[in-house]
Amino acid sequence: MDRGLLKEVILEQKKSIENLDLGVKREDLSRIKRFIRLSHAVIISGIRRVGKSTLLSQIIHNFYGETGYYLNFEDERLINFQLADFNRLYELCIELLGERKVFFFDEIQNVKKWEMFVRRMQERGFKFFVTGSNASLLSKELATKLTGRTMMLELYPFSFNEYLTFRGYSLDRKSLFLTQERGKIKRLFNEYLEKGGMPEYLKYKEDIILKRIYEDILYRDIVARYEIKEIKALRELGLYFLSNIGNLFSYNKLKGALGLGSVNTVKSYTEYLENAFLIFPVNIFSYSLKQQFIAPKKVYCIDNGLANAISFQFSKNRGRFLENLVFLELKRRYQEIYYYKTRNNLEVDFLIKEARTTKAIIQVTQSLSNIQVRQREIKALGLAMEELKLNKAIILTEEEEEQIRLKDKIIQVKPVYKWLLEREE
């Protein structure tokens, strides 16, 4: 790559990252702090425009100052940057900025075999913070290539706590007990439920931003990368998933609906959408891996605002968006999330596994005011608790709060907004 052009990029990007608005302090900074003293490369992955560059800026500002090198590979001037150019990059960084021991690489997935440079420089005592918009950055294969010396972090859109900070609301835990303040929190929660947590969109409030993110995911992260030919089918599949958050799907049925000749093609396209962090397929919980594989899956989306902008479904599917919001919070907290079906086929929205034990089962519904809904949700949880040998379960709603006793078992009912703020697990 041309030396003069690379020098220009280094200096311009150094200035841009220094002047970048630090924005809302991300909750993930507390996790990052634990990684600072380790020699491991910190891999930060997530959907486009979720705030990875801002998080890198916060890491630099909070922990490193003028002690690192920054480069964003999304810059079109670096489109021809290759593995062999890393040595020239390092040489120019020393020439322009002096000797430093930390690299910050943004959207690194655009450079093939980048991990070879990272591994070599790690052996020389260098620290790396790396971001990307592809789930392969979190794969076991990458950990193997870097000889296990990686710490993984998946960045999500704003949590509700972060959204409150963005909106300038300073939360006092006692506010939950004051009528006036509770009203303010619930108003902001209703905004968050519909608009989601993508930082750039929330700043400018233009739907075109979310639609552009969606188009970039389809065409830049999937069509170009995987050389997709059936573009129309991919678009229809993406729209289907975003219009059916919280619903079950099967590859066979989607194959017929999209007119594709192969179930494997549907599986591949679904995997590509997942790798780009747009959707999350969720398996049924079963002790049989075969059953997990063949049973229908549920699908969720990375952001309510994104799903709303693409599918125009919010007003008539508020309950599904509520469930999607709960799923995203669970993804921030846990690694293993499933849905569950009792022996008589009653569904429980979420089953959380941790350290090989079932930690929680959770049902999400807008309201329990309808007697049939109330009976259905309680019956499903009651049977699930019996089968899983659990004594507690949770129902999350928009408004209600109570405790339901089933003999020696307890179902805790609480509003989603309170559950999010209390961070109860």
Query: What is the per-residue pLDDT across 112-167, written as a single tens digit (0 to 9) for each?
Result: 999 999 999 999 999 999 998 877 776 666 767 787 789 999 999 999 999 999 99
pLDDT at 293 over 80: yes
CA-closest candidate to residue 137, choices 30, 47, 62, 269: 47
Query: What is the per-residue pLDDT across 170-190, written as a single tens digit (0 to 9) for each?
Result: 887 777 778 888 899 999 999
Average pLDDT, the chain: 92
For residues 198 and 329, give the distance between their C-alpha atoms in angstroms, rounded to a whole number.
Answer: 14
pTM: 0.93
Query: Encoding tokens for residue 213?
Result: 């993110």
Query: What is the per-residue pLDDT across 363-421, written as a single tens digit (0 to 9) for each?
Result: 999 999 999 999 999 999 999 999 999 999 999 999 999 999 998 999 999 999 999 99
First to last CA, the chain: 50
Of the listed ranges 29-33, 99-103, 177-181, the one predicted with least confidence: 177-181
Mean pLDDT across 235-259:
94
Percent of the chain with pLDDT over 70: 98
pLDDT at 425 over 50: no
For residue 422, what pLDDT is reported? 81
How far, rounded to the nearest angstrom, does the alpha carbon of residue 198 sit from its chain's CA centroid?
Answer: 11
Query: Encoding tokens for residue 27?
Result: 């909750």
Query: What is the per-residue pLDDT across 177-225, written as a single tens digit (0 to 9) for each?
Result: 788 888 999 999 999 999 999 999 999 999 999 999 999 999 988 998 8
Percent of the chain with pLDDT over 90: 79
pLDDT at 246 over 60: yes
For residue 312, what pLDDT is reported? 72
Asked if 184 and 168 count as a contact pair (C-beta separation under 8 A), the reply is no
**Rg of the chain over all Cα atoms, to the nearest angstrom:** 23
Asked if 110 and 78 count as a contact pair (C-beta separation under 8 A), the reply is yes
Mean pLDDT across 316-331:
95
Query: Encoding tokens for residue 69?
Result: 């090198």
Which has more pLDDT, 291 or 417? 417
